[in-house]
Amino acid sequence: MTLTRSRTDRMIASVAPVLDFYEHGTWERHHLDPDIADFAFGNPQEMPLPGLVDTLQRHAVPENKDWFAYKTSEEEPRQVVAEVLRGRTGLAYEPEDVALTAGAFGALGVTIRALCDVGDEVIFLSPPWFFYELMIESSGATPVRVRLDGPDFALATDAIAAAITPQTRAIIVNSPHNPSGRIYREPELAALGRVLTEASARHGRPIILISDEAYNRIVFDGIEFRSPALDYDATLTIYTYGKTLLAPGQRIGYAALSPTFPDRRASMSRIMIQQIASGWGFPNALLQHSISDLESLSVDIAALQARRDRMVPALREMGYEVTRPEGTFYVMARSPEPDDVAFAERLAGLGAIVLPGSMAELPGWFRISLTASDAMVERGLEAFRAAMIRR
């Protein structure tokens, strides 16, 4: 596939708002202010988990001459992941079904390239994670957007069914959903499974469900995350340790083909070739050695939930319309003024940075990341109050 200039321009356009915000906009201008409350991205605002530091230090000490040799998807970490997936889903995942990747980002990039042809359509749900459209475009496939309606952002299976064509090769489903915090349950996933099974049969080739589960361990209120692989055979699960460890700069994650995935050995070979072609897109040796210990570590979910429970009622009491996330790091709120970018700039002047909804195809809203520290939450609430008063 050659990258045409118009395709590259579409890639640039798809991420321009968020890159602008990051490189030249409100975040860039305000995030170094020592008093700012930074709710913009799912980035750590406090020191890393002590257990993560210990794990990395321990596994940095070589145990044999191959410790830092070239690594692909190594046997031991693949076994760890397969066992975890078996435990979480009850499905018979095997180590050979797992590709270790540079986070969910890396997994998405290589799997779309490996499993889609130029001109195939890939459906994504809007509001989306910022980079889906970019990654679909860059692979040579064609992005197809299906909108979810707020404030509940339910999985719109009728709209998905209507968007499917004979060219549809894949759909990306993200649960727990960034930015709405929704977690899709059995009835909606079963309905989606029926739609995809029926459409695959009608068009004579399986539609791949790419399940982006970056936040599958960031769940609140004891809700159980359900894997879409339980309701649909051709499911590919994508995961990153970056969210659970709140260390997205340490790049490790995976793509795993469900045991019922069609033609899975050939599909895994294609994924591996794309990993090599993408510039040796495998996680570093140190992270692969660490994976079994990383599995047992997590950001403090109770603290995230407590921040949600502090912020949501406080913002509602101030007059904001706010979602109550079931999982993820994010709370969505309706901007009190129609221009969410202008509102975010005004709010930053008062001491809090949020992500304007326009960055996630949701103009008129803004997103708050609960990865802010407790002190930032308290300072931030003052800024939100002041922004509501001084309109």
Ligand X SMILES: Cc1ncc(COP(=O)(O)O)c(C=O)c1O
* Positions that interact with ligand X (CB under 6 A): 42, 103-105, 129, 174, 178, 212, 214, 240, 242, 248, 253
CB 120 within 8 A of CB 137: no
Identify which of residues 102 and 160 has a Cβ nearer to ligand X in the complex: 102
Identify which of residues 104 and 164 has a Cβ nearer to ligand X in the complex: 104
Rounded Cα distance, 234 and 245, in Å = 29
Identify which of residues 14 and 240 has a Cβ nearer to ligand X in the complex: 240
Shortest distance in whole angstroms from residue 214 CB to ligand X: 4
Shortest distance in whole angstroms from residue 173 CB to ligand X: 10
Identify which of residues 236 and 387 has a Cβ nearer to ligand X in the complex: 236
Identify which of residues 181 and 242 has a Cβ nearer to ligand X in the complex: 242
Shortest distance in whole angstroms from residue 218 CB to ligand X: 10
Rounded Cα distance, 360 and 362, in Å = 5
- CA atoms lying within 13 Å on the CB side of residue 37: 22
- Which phi-psi region, left, alpha or beta, contains residue 153 (left: φ > 0; alpha: ψ -120 to 50)? left
Shortest distance in whole angstroms from residue 57 CB to ligand X: 22
Identify which of residues 245 and 311 has a Cβ nearer to ligand X in the complex: 245
At 97, which amino acid appears? D
Q: Sort 64 into a burial class: Cβ within 10 Å, 0-12 / 13-18 / 19+.
A: exposed
Rounded Cα distance, 142 and 183, in Å = 27
Shortest distance in whole angstroms from residue 240 CB to ligand X: 3
Identify which of residues 17 and 253 has a Cβ nearer to ligand X in the complex: 253
Rounded Cα distance, 109 and 238, in Å = 11
Rounded Cα distance, 87 and 135, in Å = 31
Rounded Cα distance, 336 and 357, in Å = 12
Shortest distance in whole angstroms from residue 242 CB to ligand X: 3
Rounded Cα distance, 367 and 354, in Å = 6
Phi/psi at 140 (nearest 5 deg)? 95, -5
Dihedral in degrees, nearest 10, Cα atoms 73, 77, 78, 79: 150
Identify which of residues 168 and 250 has a Cβ nearer to ligand X in the complex: 250
Shortest distance in whole angstroms from residue 22 CB to ligand X: 13
Listed residue (295, 267, 268, 170) closest to 228, CA to CA: 170
Shortest distance in whole angstroms from residue 253 CB to ligand X: 6
